[in-house]
Structure formats: C-alpha cells, structure tokens
Structure 1
Amino acid sequence: MIIDFDVASHILAEANQNNLTLVITEILRSHRRGYHLVVMPRATATWILDNIILSGIDQATLRKLRSEYAQTAELRSTALIRLRVLPQHMGGPTLSGKVIEFGLTDLISSNVCEKAVIVVEDTGSDGQFYENLFKGIIAKIGNVQIGLEMSNGGGENTSRVFKEKISDRRLVVMIADSDKSAPSFDIPAKISKAKLMAEQAVWPLTEVICLPCREVENLVPLHLVEKLRCSQGRGVEISSLHRIQTAEDKAGIPVHHQLWMYYDLKRGAPEDRSEWLETKLRMGGHASYQGFGNQMMTQFVADEAIKKEFRQYVKKDHWWNTFGIIFERALWMVVAANRQFA
C-alpha cells in the first residue's frame, strides 16, 4: 500500500521524537523490503535527515525516496486507497474517503508495515493463482511491484483466518468464491459475515472480495483451460463450450449472464440441472459435460507458459471489465516498491 508521509516540518518538530523515530524506521524498512511503497516529499525527507538519528541504511533509503518523489507523488492522487501518517492524529485509524489516517501510536501498535495478507479459501494452488493474477494486473497502476503473503483459510475456516489477521492488526484482503450456479443466486452469507467482522473490529485496512463468477477456476478463459493436461481427450466438451460462448456473444448476452461465469469446471453439469443451465447447454449440442477435475488449478500454477499467457490476458479490456474491477481496490492495497538492499 502507499504510505503517504507528507508532514510539515513544524509538526514533525512537535511530535513525540521517540515515536516519530520508531515510525520512520518501520516505514523505511517496509519500503526497502518491498512490502509497501512510501511517498515522501523532499522537504519532509530533508528535515528527517537533518534532525533524526537514523542508521546508514535508513539514511540511504530516505535519500532515494527524496530523489524519486517526482515519480511517486502522482500515485497519491490516483490511488483508490492509501495510508497517510499524521503525527497529530488521535482516536485510532480513520477512513476518510480514499485515505486511511494513522497516528504515530496507531502505526506502532499495529503490524501494518508487514506485508498485506491475502486470505483465500482453498489450497495453496489458489494462493499461487492469485499471486500470479496480481502480478499481471499490477501493470494497470504503473511501474510498481506487489507486496503480499498468502494465507489459506480452507472452506469454512476462511472467515476465522480473516478475523485472526484483523486481530493481528494486519492489512488483509479476503477473496471468496460466490458459489453461484446461475446469475440469479444470492451472494453467500460468508461475505456479509466477513464484512461485519471488519466493521465490528473498527479496522479500515480490510477488503472483502466476492468473485462475480462461481469459483476461482472461472477466472481462467476457455482458450487457456484447453491447454491444460486435464483437457486432454475432452475435445467434444471443449468444442461444445466454445459453441455456447459463440452463440451467447452473437445473441448479445451480457458476460455476467453467460455460462462460463457459473459452469462447474471441476465437476461439470449435474444430472439435476436447473432450467437456466439446461438452456445454456443446449446451445452447445449433445455432449457429456463432465468438467475437468480437481487438479485443474494445480496444473495451471505448475505451467509457467500458461501463467505467463494469463498475466498478459488479464490486462485486456474484456477480462478487466468483467473481473478486474473487483480487484482494483485490493490491488492498491498490495502496491509495493521494488525490493532494495536488506
């Protein structure tokens, strides 16, 4: 996340110098390690260099921030969310529009300067998938990196892990499947439960994302799914799915009402099908819709060529307008500087 440290000299001089030194040391460390991205005006950096006793490595980081300010300053105006350190701020972290205001003691008593945590629902492969996804869409922001760590909730435990990270005072994003089998299905209770947790904890450094599609697998386009090993020998089903997509596009059916958003890619179509699903499948002609099995995501994250192709694909307007927008705020929460010296 962008840590905005734009503080006038007289306010710096009036602040508790011990707390100020601790905070400056922490944010410089997080910037240097590629956890977050600190933006600091030249005047602020110069005052700190002249008045605060810092290690040689912290001084070097400050000088680098000062020289880079012309390039990083504009990120503050485009960021959907950023953290601003205000030494005089009291009363705990406060969300004000697109800015989360932190006092010195707020930052000292938290773990905000550690990496952002992304809590996902299932196995390690889901975490690897989302890390690859963020590496692709970060280009929407500019020449920055991502700083994050993955935490796997595992089904019903996802909300518990999310709550634990909030209690640890971490910057945390939860990404959950919608589990929807059709566009008419409601948002699952786990989403409202997680949002309530964050609200009750009065912790604004959270984001809860509910996928607009059924599951994480549905984020992968069909032309990449058919390149996976699990698609071998499934040519009839793949051809039918292509025919359905073509028919839906020709009919002008909005993306959020198309089959691919809600098709169970792991298990295929059940015997007891809804009228909505049956209507969609008829567009593809006769086929055995069996899905591609539970190893689909494992195979995806193990294939470097497909991962690279996916990172390029998610930059396209079609994918971004369908899925990317829901990740945009979270994307700003994982923005980080290039990792520098230790």
Structure 2
Amino acid sequence: MQNLTRMVPWIIGRLVSSIIQGKKMIIYLDIKVEELTIMPPEEAETIFTLLLDADRLGNHMIVISRTTCDWAIENLSLSGQNSNHLNRLKADFSTRGNIRKYSKCHISVVFGESEIYLEGSGFSIGHKKFISSEFSTYKTRMIVENIENDSGLYNFMFSVAIKQTNIPGTAVDFVSGGGSTTCAVFENEIKKNRIAICIVDTDKNSPCDKLGSTAKKVLNLHNKRNIEQNNSYTPYIGTATTTIGQEIENYIPFNAVKQISCYNLPPELELIVKQNTSADAENCFWLFFDLKNGVSGTKILDKIDQGLKQRSVGQWIASRLGCSYQDLKYKNINGVGKNIIEKFLSTKEAQNEYIEFSKTEYWRSAFLAQFESLLWYLAATMPVRT
C-alpha cells in the first residue's frame, strides 16, 4: 500500500500526459462565476473565444473549471466549434485540473484591469489586459540566435526531453535573433504582448569564464523586468536563459558526433571527454570546447594577458588537459568541423546516440532541469481537427 501511495503522483502525471499528449503555455481561467455575471457580455464572450481558440488550434493548453464551463454554456453565444470544444474542456477537467499540481509555469487570467505580475511559479493578468494582448493568439515565441539550425536541434532535444517530464506536449514558434540583435528581437516580442522565451549562447571557454555580450544583454533585460524589484520596468510573460555550455552545439554529445562519418575527432578528446555520470557533468571539457575552431592554449593565454579573460579560465582549461598553466601554451586541439547541427540532424545514428545519452546520469544532471523549465512555457494540447 505504501508503494502504491508513492506511485500515485507518477501515475496521475503519466495519465495526464497520455490523455492529452500533443505537440505552449498553460492558461487557467481564474475568474469566478459571480465575477463573470457582472462582466459586460461582450468581454465574457471575447475571453472565452480567445481561450477556446487557443486550445482548439493547439496554441496553448487551457484549463477551465466545470462550474465556469456550465455558466458559459448557459449564458454565452459562442460559435458552434467553440461550444463543442467547451464541452470537451468540461469533460477533460478531471485530468486537466491535475496538471496544475505539476506545472512549473502557467498564466492565471483573473477578473479586472491588473497588469502582468509574478505569482508563485507563474504569472497573473487581468482579463482586460489579456483581451488586448496577443498571449493567446500566438504560440510561445522562442528567440534563438540562428533559427536555421538551432530550431531543428531544439525541436529534436525537446522531443526527447519531454518523455522524462509530466508536460503534456509542446507548440512553439521560433524567432531568429540574428546573433548580436537577439536582445532587440526579444524585447520586440515582449512589447507585442506575446509569451516570449529566449536562449542564447554563453560564449564561455570554461565554467568560470565571463558571459558573452549578447548573453549579458538578454539576461539584463530579463532581470530588470522579472527579477529586480522597485524599478520602472514592467514584468513580461516568459523567461531568458543561456546554454549550459559554450553554445548550442555543445549539447550534442561526444559519442553522437563520433557517429557522423565526415568528421575526424582529434584523438586527444577520447582521453579527455567523459559523459556518463553526474560527476562528469560538473567539469565537462566538451561543454566548453569550441567544436568548430578547437582550442588554442596560446590564444587563451594571449586573451588573459590582454585582460579579456580571467587567469582562472586558463587554469581550468589546463586542468582539463592535464598540464600546468605554464605549459598551456603548448596545447592545441583542432576543431571538429563546421555544420555540426546540420550533420547531426541528418544522421540517424547520431540521433540514436543522443537518445541513449538522454538515459545517462550525466544528461539528467546537466540538461533535464533546463529543458523541463523551458518546456513548461511551451505546454499545449494537440489541435482539434474538424
């Protein structure tokens, strides 16, 4: 009986996932029936239409209580499609309502004119602001630096990661940040009142290295809006983060790259790179290795001498390469090559290797928390086909 009790949360989570599995942010209608009765009818109909369209089209996942569904069915003039869909949401509430227990991020639409504000693990917004926004009409916007390759790799990695979470499914629109303009593109999506998440490369050569300029700008924008208090910046619905290592290419494991026949990996990497346990993930050289250009000890030391990098960066690289700081100048490891992401996405053997990699302690320790955090912003149901 105790074992069964411990399994209940897992069983419910998998049940929810299996029932509403799909390919978005979870939005709860938290307006009481007595509040709906005093709302102008056109506003109530607009709120329900926006939410039902979002769920029916697969843009987001909507949760509405049975009592509220009953009120809307009786009092509102909705389209035939949305009336039918409202009945589906009412019937699904026993499973959809449970997802709130596991949700790491969601939007609560409340009665009134309140602006966006942070509320626990999610966001709250007044219904008037919600009506005038584009939060429900667009899928979550994910700003990446290079949409041509990054979007394909993130889609693949998300499809693998979601199987280890209670997230029902995802939907996302990728937006190209264009490298140095990423922060401006991110802010533009925020100003348009859309759910926006942004992930940028750290451009770090070691865990102790400084963030690159683009990452600094993006995180500063996020902090001013959603972290720091007592300033004039308004919160936004979304988040910003950086890659775990130097850049997105470093998410592709060493053994997967070995499966891509056109690349000859430097033999030194076989001795340096270990990606199995959580301990391996703590100081992994591969995460900060420049796959395209490799690492030059001389260039690293020159940047340290110029004050562009801290001495600790050179010390960390030397420790990973098994040499003294003074001997780092003699170390040079060639890069693997260009177009890593493109080659990975066209090589089934490499993708299979990644799937096996996702079962390791290393992967769970290094990547799972970040993937799960991002995926909750993309949570959605499958679109209804009529």
Whether 1:72 aligns to 2:100 is no
Q: Tell me whether 101-110 or 190-199 shows the greater mean CA deviation.
A: 190-199
Whether 1:202 aligns to 2:234 is yes
CA distance in 2, matches of 1:2, 1:73: 11
Map of 1:339 onto structure 2: 383
State the Cα distance separating 1:9 from its structure 2 match: 1.8
Whether 1:133 aligns to 2:157 is yes
Map of 1:263 onto structure 2: 289
Q: 2:114 aligns with which of 84, 91, 94?
A: 91
State the Cα distance separating 1:134 from its structure 2 match: 1.7
State the Cα distance separating 1:303 from its structure 2 match: 3.2
Contact residue 296 and residue 331 of structure 2 kept, 8 A: no
CA distance in 2, matches of 1:102, 1:64: 25
CA distance in 2, matches of 1:29, 1:265: 44
Which AA in structure 2 matches 1:242? E
CA distance in 1, matches of 2:354, 2:196: 25
Q: 1:291 aligns with which of 335, 341, 346?
A: 335
Which AA in structure 2 matches 1:260? W
Whether 1:34 aligns to 2:58 is yes
State the Cα distance separating 1:271 from its structure 2 match: 5.0
Which AA in structure 2 matches 1:298? E
Contact residue 143 and residue 182 of structure 2 kept, 8 A: yes
Contact residue 204 and residue 210 of structure 2 kept, 8 A: yes
Any idea what SS the aligned residue of 2:107 has? Answer: strand
Whether 1:14 aligns to 2:46 is no
Whether 1:214 aligns to 2:238 is no
Unaligned segments of structure 2, at least 5 residues: 1-24, 226-231, 301-313, 324-329
Map of 2:304 onto structure 1: none
Aligned residues: 333
Any idea what SS the aligned residue of 2:112 has? Answer: coil
State the Cα distance separating 1:336 from its structure 2 match: 0.4
CA distance in 2, matches of 1:14, 1:2: 26
Any idea what SS the aligned residue of 2:163 has? Answer: helix
Map of 2:320 onto structure 1: 280
1:158-197 equivalences in 2 (<5 Å): 158-197=182-221
Return closer, same or farther for 1:271/1:312 CA change in 2, 3 Å cut-off: closer
CA distance in 1, matches of 2:350, 2:88: 37
Q: Deviations over 1:60-79 (max 9, x none)?
A: 11111111111111111211
Give the structure-1-normalised TM-score.
0.89
Return closer, same or farther for 1:67/1:313 CA change in 2, 3 Å cut-off: farther
Any idea what SS the aligned residue of 2:333 has? Answer: coil
CA distance in 2, matches of 1:293, 1:137: 27
Q: 1:100 aligns with which of 123, 135, 139?
A: 123
CA distance in 2, matches of 1:217, 1:211: 10
State the Cα distance separating 1:277 from its structure 2 match: 2.4
Q: Tell me whether 274-283 or 152-161 shows the greater mean CA deviation.
A: 274-283
Q: Tell me whether 317-326 or 261-270 shows the greater mean CA deviation.
A: 317-326
CA distance in 2, matches of 1:308, 1:253: 23
Return closer, same or farther for 1:271/1:245 CA change in 2, 3 Å cut-off: closer
CA distance in 2, matches of 1:91, 1:40: 20
Whether 1:227 aligns to 2:259 is yes
State the Cα distance separating 1:144 from its structure 2 match: 1.7
Whether 1:245 aligns to 2:273 is yes
Contact residue 110 and residue 170 of structure 1 kept, 8 A: yes
Any idea what SS the aligned residue of 1:336 has? Answer: coil
Any idea what SS the aligned residue of 1:4 has? Answer: strand
CA distance in 2, matches of 1:211, 1:61: 39
Q: 2:48 aligns with which of 24, 30, 38?
A: 24
Contact residue 102 and residue 166 of structure 2 kept, 8 A: no
CA distance in 1, matches of 2:220, 2:128: 25
Return closer, same or farther for 1:339/1:249 CA change in 2, 3 Å cut-off: closer
Q: Tell me whether 51-60 or 326-335 shows the greater mean CA deviation.
A: 326-335
Which AA in structure 1 matches 2:281? V
Q: Tell me whether 37-46 or 2-11 shows the greater mean CA deviation.
A: 2-11
Any idea what SS the aligned residue of 2:373 has? Answer: helix
Q: Tell me whether 9-18 or 60-69 shows the greater mean CA deviation.
A: 9-18
Unaligned segments of structure 1, at least 5 residues: none
Give the structure-2-normalised TM-score.
0.79
Contact residue 31 and residue 337 of structure 1 kept, 8 A: yes
Contact residue 138 and residue 331 of structure 1 kept, 8 A: yes
What RMSD, in angstroms, separates the aligned Cα atoms of the two structures?
2.5
Which AA in structure 2 matches 1:76? R
Return closer, same or farther for 1:78/1:161 CA change in 2, 3 Å cut-off: same
CA distance in 2, matches of 1:64, 1:299: 43
CA distance in 2, matches of 1:230, 1:172: 37
State the Cα distance separating 1:19 from its structure 2 match: 1.4
CA distance in 2, matches of 1:145, 1:135: 9
Contact residue 120 and residue 152 of structure 1 kept, 8 A: yes
Which AA in structure 2 matches 1:280? R
Which AA in structure 1 matches 2:69? A
